[in-house]
Amino acid sequence: MQVPDAIPVPLETSIQPQFFLNTTNTTLANGTFVLAIIDPDAPTPQNTSVSQFRHMLGGDFRANATGGLLMNTSAALSDFVPPTPPAGSDPHRYVILLFNQSANFDTNAPPLVNASTPRTNFNISMFASALQLGTPIAGTFFLTGPDNSSTASGAAPSSTAPTAPGSNGAASYGDGKTAGIVSVVTMMILAAAWV
């Protein structure tokens, strides 16, 4: 199976992206957030027997006032694990969700998710409900195909993807490539950028 030219391969998404929140809501701009990255297509989109796979989960994210860069002040519950769809798989969706952080998150989350908790068969909806996070306030996703070195075309992400805040909507790689599709939710933009 050949990876379409518009789908990034694992090498292009191997480092943790930066996240940006752009909002005119000052209450949210000063808020504290939980950020999650999940793969609903594990191990393949046709066989989701171990989905959702938790690629990252952390709290205490705050938006930088000068550009909306989300930075956290505590260790992640689950450190970033790069996308690695298995050879022969169709591209996977990687969903990034941002929630308002509940007051008791720092004490109630670690017993639910920690270094010994399996990353497979995670359920972000149940996790959010258990910690009273409510519905996501922003989100985005990107597609990544397997690194089928013999058939991959050195694919670059789609040039139709949105940008980091203040630009035309596309998150940008350090080499000028673009990535991701940004979802606008109640006048907020969440963007992922690989630098």
Over residues 22-43, the pLDDT tens digits come to 877 777 778 899 999 999 999 9
**193 pLDDT tier (thresholds 50, 70, 90):** low
| Tens digit of each residue's pLDDT (9 = 90 or more) over 109-166 | 999 999 899 999 999 999 999 999 999 998 888 888 887 654 433 333 332 233 333 3
pTM greater than 0.85: no
Domain ranges in the chain are 10-193
Longest dimension (CA), the chain: 50
Rounded Cα distance, 119 and 128, in Å: 16
pLDDT at 120: 95
pLDDT at 106: 95
Enumerate the β-bridge partners of residue 92: 144
| Tens digit of each residue's pLDDT (9 = 90 or more) over 51-102 | 999 999 999 999 887 788 888 889 999 999 988 888 888 999 999 999 999 9
pLDDT at 141: 86
| Cβ–Cβ under 8 Å, residues 98 and 35 | yes
DSSP at 180: -
Task: Supply the CATH classification number for the domain 10-193.
Answer: 3.90.280.10
Q: Average pLDDT in the 10-32 region?
A: 76
* CA 177 to centroid of chain Cα atoms: 18
Rounded Cα distance, 23 and 190, in Å: 9
